[in-house]
Homo-oligomer: A and B are copies of this chain.
Amino acid sequence: MFKNTLIIGCGLIGSSILRSSIKNKISKNFYVFEKSKKNKQIIKKINSKIIFVSNLNKDIDKMNFIIICTPMSEYKFIIPKINKLKSENYVVTEVGSTKRNLINLIKNKNFVLSHPIAGSEVSGPKFSDQDLFNNKWCIIINKGKKNKINLVKKFWRKIGSKVILMDAKNHDKIFAITSHLPHLIAYNLIKTAQDFQKNEKKNLIKYSAGGLRDFSRTAASNEIMWRDIFFNNKDNMIKSIDKFIKNLNLMKKNIKLEKDKELKKILINSKKVRKQIITLKQDVSKPNFGRNI
């Protein structure tokens, strides 16, 4: 597809893209810009042909495909360099989890925004996986040149993703609910449990298999990535937190007054969502995620 591909930032997502791009022969040459020495040592072992670039200002001009995979808080240092690019024979994409914040930052019609719905609670190239994007959704924002959008589409499909177009506003609204709020709630539940432990001087982590453990996985996600997401999707976060609290107060009332019918209706309705998720193959169907503990 490309002669020279550059991945800027090679953590879990960047190095998984690197692996799947090598596997699917996306490019002739693969360049990587990565600050961490430790990460570089791991990336070297992926393939001997990977070329490390040390200066974006010097090396960026010869690239045909650029994928930015750093935390979004780094974009303010990288995107100005992209905005200055002179040639026309290239396309740029990135993999951030929020989109409206990027629209004003980008002054380059060869730049297409992507969001692969893939990842996990662990970080870094150590955990990279060449099949990470296989059968996963990748959202592409419907803005920029049509031929560049098509090129980015083709790329994600080649590494196994299912592609869907969306506008930035809708994207940020939808993922506030399916991803950002769930993460915030998980962090908040773990914080509440930690407060309880501290105040009551009770060791409760050893009983976490009763429910808390699932939330602890989500709440172990990378703090830089998630701080960036919460700040960049601020207005949707605030709105969804308010809705969550409103519902939680209703739950509290139903419990306090033992409103059997009202409470049971909510609990029964939840089951439908689980069924849909399994039908849509968005989760494993085995009880307890197939865990044996």
Contacts and interface: CB of A to CB of B under 8 A. Distances in A.
A280 B234 CA distance: 36
A267 B194 CA distance: 12
Contacts of A282: 205-209, 213, 293
A178 B244 contact: no
Interface string A260-293: 1001101111110111110011111001111111
Interface stretch (A22-30, A80-88, A99-107, A216-224): A216-224
B174 A204 contact: yes
A267 B192 contact: no
A241 B251 contact: yes
Interface residues of A, number: 101
Nearest to A121: B287
A281 B209 CA distance: 9
Interface stretch (A35-43, A48-56, A60-68, A179-187): A179-187
B182 A270 contact: no
A122 B183 contact: no
A198 to B, nearest CB: 11
Contact of A177 (B193, B224, B276): B193
A181 B128 CA distance: 34
Contact of A247 (B192, B215, B220): B192
B223 A268 contact: yes
Interface string A163-193: 0000000100111011111111111111111
Interface of A: 117-118, 120-122, 127, 135-137, 170, 173-175, 177-196, 200, 202, 204-220, 223-224, 226-227, 230-231, 234, 237-238, 240-245, 247-249, 251-252, 255-256, 258, 260, 263-264, 266-271, 273-277, 280-284, 287-293
